[in-house]
Amino acid sequence: MFSRKQRRPQSPELLKAWQSLDEGDIPGALRHLRHGTDTLPLAEVALVVARAAGTAGFTDLQEAATTLSSHPGKARPLYDFGYACIERGVSYLAIPALREALRLAPGTPAVLRELVSAYEDEGRHREAADVLGAHEDGFADWPDRYLLVFNALMAGDLDLARRQHALLPDPDDTTWRPARDRQRRMLERADAAEQAAPLDLTDLRGWQYVIGGTVLGTLSPFGFDAGMAGRYAWLQDTHDGCLRGLSRLKTVLDAAGARPESVSLLPDRSSRILGLAAADVLGLPALPFAPGRENTVVVAYDLNDLAGEDGGPEILQQLFHRVPGQVLHEHASCWTDPPAVTPDSVALLHQSVVAPWGAGLRQSADGGVEQGEPDDRPEAEIAAEIVAADPATDEGDGETPADPDAHLADFVAAVGGTWLQGDRAALKTSGPVRSSRFD
């Protein structure tokens, strides 16, 4: 434990973090450190981090932070601190230390790559691309130029990505070849998407397709110009919303010329409910999921739910490698905690969702809000309610751009030749289109 005689930070924001640690609130202290850390004195930041890490039992980070607090002007302690921060999942704390380490030891590959890794973890792809570009004379094609192409793409800078990709030779090390192939597919998808989408920093559907090969069915009708850009924050879903998503899935399949022969039901309850409804909407038989089945639509409500189901992780591994004619559709995909596999089609992107049959909020008898009970009726009965719902678009606040079915169909027709290609690697970034997120 830290005594009151030990050194304390002097910066007001850091004193707030220190007070949180006095109260035993490590998450609260880290929240204070998240904002403004780039400009705070590194020695003082390290004092706070050392105390927090010691309380949490993170000896490696505690030792690195303690050393940095005493030697804030030396490259090695700065690097060791940044490395430990990344390993412990607080990359935002690593960035100012690694940036200073790179200034003190310019051109050091290990420092440059760790700084880029920290920027990537925080979704700061523009800065990652810029720092790589500034050190282009001394870096290696693999991984450095590859990382420059990737971060240029994730920053929405297609010109830079294409220019650097043209300079990138095939890797000699075979372990890089899957990454090379994924990057090539991203650029091919960008070429196709440009024919039907602006690919600017508000084009959520276009960039979702470029970075993951996912066709996004709907945009949130709330807060588009107020920070959400088409994503949902918290959503209490409805039967109408489920049917809207399935209707858009049908539009996607028709526009792509896909001819599935069945709907495959995943084992979690929400996916089974939605899968039964999908079979009715698409006019196809519903069958239990089988890993080798071709020409089928695998329907998930939320793939993160499947991960917690018995046998779910194994199914996700099976879905990583594509089966001919198999389309993986996810209704509600979490963009702040992406699933282990990236779906081919998604109805909506959310940060938190409650299924229509879950224990959502409802109005109480006194006019307040209370927690409701889950709908435990048979799955087929709930699925029938979805099919009978109203798929009309929610008008929302009127600020989201118009997105008729024809618009979606035109997009799918343009990208159809690049859809359903390659593996379904998990997304590690939300891409160039930023949205507000809530902790």
For the chain, what are the domain ranges? 12-122, 200-418
CATH of 200-418, one of 1.25.40, 3.90.420, 3.40.50, 3.30.1370: 3.40.50
> For residue 123, what are the contacts with CB-CB under 8 A and spacing of at least 6?
154, 429, 430, 434
Instruction: Return the pLDDT at 361.
Output: 64
Whether the predicted pLDDT of 177 surpasses 80:
yes
Q: Give the residue from 106, 99, 100, 172 showing the smallest Cα distance to 139.
A: 106
Whether the predicted pLDDT of 116 surpasses 90:
yes
Query: Residue 118's pLDDT band (boundaries 50, 70, 90)?
Result: very high
C-alpha torsion sign, points 412, 413, 415, 420: positive
CATH of 12-122, one of 1.10.150, 1.20.120, 1.25.40, 3.40.1350: 1.25.40
> For residue 297, what are the contacts with CB-CB under 8 A and spacing of at least 6?
249, 253, 260, 262, 263, 264, 278, 282, 284, 326, 327, 329
Beta bridge partners of 360: none
Q: What is the DSSP pairing of strand 369-371 with strand 361-363? A: antiparallel
Burial label for 301, CB within 10 Å (0-12, 13-18, 19+), is buried
Mean predicted lDDT score pLDDT of the chain: 94
DSSP state of 170: P
Answering whether pTM is above 0.85, one says: yes
Instruction: Return the pLDDT at 407.
Output: 97
Highest mean pLDDT pick, 156-165, 368-377, 394-403: 156-165
Q: Give the residue from 345, 335, 350, 332 showing the smallest Cα distance to 249.
A: 345
- 28 vs 17: CA distance, rounded Å: 7
- 128 vs 119: CA distance, rounded Å: 6
Query: Residue 3's pLDDT band (boundaries 50, 70, 90)?
Result: very low
User: What is the Cα 204 distance to its own chain's centre?
Assistant: 13
Instruction: Return the pLDDT at 13.
Output: 82
Instruction: Please calculate the CA angle 49-54-58 and round it to the nearest 5 degrees.
Output: 90
DSSP state of 397: T
Query: Residue 288's pLDDT band (boundaries 50, 70, 90)?
Result: very high
Q: What are phi and psi of 339, to 5 degrees?
A: -70, 165
Instruction: Return the pLDDT at 369.
Output: 63
Instruction: Return the pLDDT at 368.
Output: 62
pLDDT tens column, 181-220: 999 999 999 999 999 999 999 999 999 999 999 999 999 9
